[in-house]
Amino acid sequence: MITKKTIYSKNFLLVAVGQIISLFGNQILRYALPLYLLNETGSAALFGTILAISFVPMLVLFPIGGIIADRVNKRNIMVFLDFSTAILIFLFYLLANKMEIVPLMGMTIVILYGIQGTYQPTVQASVPELVDTEYIMQGNAIVDLISSLASMAGPVIGGILYSVFGLTPILYVSMACFFLAAVMELFIHMPFVQKQGEGNILITGLNDLKESIAFIFKEKPILWKMSLVFASVNLFLTSLILVGVPVIITQHLGFDVSAGNRLYGYAQGIMASGSIIGGLLAGVFSKKLTLKVSPLILSGCALTILVSGAALQLLVGRSIKIFFILAISCGLLLVLSTLFTIQMMTYLQMLTPKALTGKVISCVLCLCMCSSPVGQFIYGIIFEHIGSSIYLPFYGAALIMFCISFFTRKVFYEIAQPRELKRNDREEKKYLRSN
């Protein structure tokens, strides 16, 4: 029997190192492929549409990934998906000169995001399996920190490789990353108890999905309220910087193509460093980071977007100043949004019985992420037709987020009550006895 340990246990560290390698390969691809498409077509609408469509398989596969994570050894899932991603990129490399690049690029991005949709719930659900309850927030902070490190290093290195050598070296590096991560994950020992399904796999999956939805909406309605707040961050803020930042830097600030691509990579690195700082702060202040401060965090996110909009309106013609203000403001946004994300994930895990963790996490994240493709599609259309008034979406998003932070205070205060967590302990014991 494998006992749980601290965040320094061998198995958790293997998961962490495997994530560093795998996510680095993922991030350089997610930087280079859409940017290549934007450079080739020059269309912000097509750029936003492809990003939006790519989220569809991720949304579909998130709940499926959670169901699989609760019924299959999580180590085996990670190994299989990393090997599959390496094969996907190899096939893209072989077909790049034999097919039209736009549909091939679109299919590859869609499949890549779909694999990530299955992969992410598995990693999140493995944290409570490998660490004790008191270390869950630190474990989540480490997982998020790793993602942020990859998000920082990937675009910076990817930007240099892409601007100097083109797309091919990025394909080589990413294939090597996924293969190496899969090999390393083979040595992880993950606690696993085989569950008996009822009927065929489709019926079992549907029953698991129904159980998760019932838990979220009937037994723990606070979870869907959390989901709506989280979804608003994705819709109004994350989607804005995913579409707006590359379009503004490469098309509106007057840089040539090579310089614009490089600067976008640097901006991605700055923003990812914000995620790193947010993850570090969440780990250091995990015991003090209560949900009562969440409305202030959301207000801070709105303020950073407001500063970006002001720079775009007031500093016309000063491209370098706009670039730095935009990058730093979005970096601060990622500091705050990372704190908020880790808070949500930790309380979600604490409010959910361990036997349901994978399914519930995947359903909640799926609900949250449904807003991402909608936001990306809308912002793509907006930036395609807005002309020189590129600051207006920033002002609108900031105003909406200020309102959300004010009107959702009661939700966070309700989650933060100690009796809610104590009640969950009793419910978990009851659930385990009944199953």
Residue 287 covered by a domain: yes
How far is it, in rounded angstroms, from Cα 379 to Cα 65? 28
How far is it, in rounded angstroms, from Cα 23 to Cα 112? 12
User: Residues with Cβ < 8 Å from 183, sequence gap 6 or more?
Assistant: none
> Can you give the pLDDT of all 435 residues of the chain as single tens digits?
444 455 667 778 888 788 788 878 887 887 788 777 777 777 777 777 777 777 677 766 666 666 666 667 778 888 888 898 999 999 988 887 788 877 888 888 888 877 877 777 677 777 777 777 667 767 777 776 776 666 666 666 776 777 777 778 888 888 998 999 888 888 888 766 555 544 555 566 567 667 777 777 777 777 777 778 888 888 888 889 888 888 888 888 888 877 887 788 788 778 877 877 887 787 777 667 677 788 888 999 999 999 999 999 998 888 899 999 999 999 899 889 888 887 777 777 777 776 666 667 767 777 676 777 788 888 888 888 888 888 999 999 999 999 988 887 777 766 655 444 445 545 545 544 555
Given phi > 0 = left and psi -120 to 50 = alpha, else beta, which region is 317?
A: left
pLDDT at 275: 76
Residue 197 covered by a domain: no
| Of 222, 216, 217, 137, nearest in space to 410 by CA | 222
Do 359 and 431 contact (CB within 8 A), yes or no?
Answer: no
CA angle 350, 125, 129 (to 5 degrees): 80
Would you list the DSSP string of 388-409? T-TTHHHHHHHHHHHHHHHHTH
Residue 117 covered by a domain: yes
Give the dihedral sign, CA 213/216/221/222: negative
| Of 327, 361, 404, 323, nearest in space to 123 by CA | 361
Strand (E) positions, 250-316?
A: none
Q: Is 60 helix (H, G, I), strand (E, B) or coil?
A: helix
Residue 5 covered by a domain: no
Residue 160 covered by a domain: yes
Taking the model in full, what pTM does it have?
0.63
How far is it, in rounded angstroms, from Cα 85 to Cα 91? 10
Do 243 and 51 contact (CB within 8 A), yes or no?
Answer: yes
DSSP code at position 216: I
User: Residues with Cβ < 8 Å from 335, sequence gap 6 or more?
Assistant: 274, 275, 277, 278, 281
CATH of the domain at 369: 1.20.1250.20
pLDDT at 329: 93
- Give first-to-last CA distance, the chain, whole Å: 20
Residue 426 covered by a domain: yes
DSSP code at position 356: G
pLDDT at 4: 46
How far is it, in rounded angstroms, from Cα 216 to Cα 207? 14
What is the domain count for the chain? 1
Chain mean position to CA 18: 17
Q: Is 5 helix (H, G, I), strand (E, B) or coil?
A: strand
How far is it, in rounded angstroms, from Cα 49 to Cα 373? 8
Residue 192 covered by a domain: no
Given phi > 0 = left and psi -120 to 50 = alpha, else beta, which region is 254?
A: left
The residue type at 96: A
How far is it, in rounded angstroms, from Cα 412 to Cα 122? 26
Task: Give the residue carrying structure tokens 């606690």.
Answer: 191
Residue 202 covered by a domain: no
pLDDT at 373: 76
Supply 30's token pair.
């997610």
Per the structure, the complete domain to which residue 318 belongs is given by 10-185+211-434
